[in-house]
Amino acid sequence: MQTSDAVETPINRILIANRGEIAVRVMQSCKELGIKTVAVYSTADRNMPHVRMADDAVEIGPPEANSSYLNIDRIIDACHQTGADAVHPGYGFLSENAQFAQRLAEKGITFIGPRPETMHQMGDKIRARQLMEANGVPVVPGFAPGAEQISMDTFRTEANRIGYPVMIKASAGGGGRGMRVVASEKDLAEAIDSARREAANAFGDDTIFMEKFVQAPRHIEIQVFGDRHGNIVHLFERECSIQRRHQKIIEESPSPALDDATRTIMADAAVKAARAVNYEGAGTVEFIYSDVDQSFFFLEMNTRLQVEHPVTELVTNRDLVAE
């Protein structure tokens, strides 16, 4: 298991800051590695399988996630109560929360994942886009002004430069929220206002940017791993083009769309992206890909173990949690 500590520290007891399938999945690998596990649970989840499977378990609050699985103080208290020296965040909840990783580091508890600054960099889609551009990773043509106030006239000018249709995106977005496709100039102002409102409600940040809308693309992601010594490797791709409302339905590997040359170029770009932020641990670099001209563009990076990681495990015969 890759950790964000600067020095090699043996791990004896891991608290899994999650529930359900991913908590059980992490515990299975921990047992094979001879590492003790700690479960946390809300009052509604006391009889869940992950609670019964763990070596120790701590109740951390009521059913509402904000008072339990998203409550950083209670999770840190559970670490101190059980002597856990590391935390695996799983996916969802606090898995991409840089503040959580920073708080654990301040308490001397290992966060199994990337460094807080890496999570900050890749969690801001505008900043991530700028980093990728600076490091030679292809990005979709667009306009990313940052948090500064931009006039609607400027957005109109930039949309005409990029060419319709365009996509409005929330800088702090995820899960399809804060996204709008705009087919023509008459719809631009309403789409921007709507995307900003949704982003503010969902993420507390109404910063948006604009990109060329790539029509009928494939969605391909590359599994990467990095260590604290700067070594980055990839474990090939997963294709997740079949989606509903920007949520993945089918994940397959290898992608039937990629020839060997394109696969190599895309994997090299993913490694370059991870190296740009000195990535540590398991992560996924996502691209959109055009069948028409075999072009591809950086979409985002997930700074955690993804839900879909078992597909890569089946292809490579590697335990990504244990790695």
As annotated, the active-site residues are 304
Query: Among 1, 229, 230, 23, which residue's Cα sits nearest to residue 110?
Result: 1
In degrees, rounded to 5, the angle at the alpha carbon of residue 112 between the alpha carbons of residues 220 and 318 is 55
Per-residue exposure over 90-121, b if at least 16 CB sit within 10 Å of its own CB, e if not? bbbbbbbbbebbbbbbeeebbbbbbbbebbbb
Distance CA 89, CA 93 (A): 8
Identify whether the C-beta of residue 89 lies closer than 8 Å to the C-beta of residue 18: yes
Distances in Å between the alpha carbon of 239 and those of 91, 294, 307, 320?
19, 15, 13, 18
* Contacts with 114 (C-beta within 8 Å, 6 or more apart), sequence order: 4, 101, 226, 277, 279, 280, 281, 283, 303
- CA separation for the pair 65, 117 (Å, rounded): 25
**Contact indicator for 94, 115 with CB cutoff of 8 Å:** no
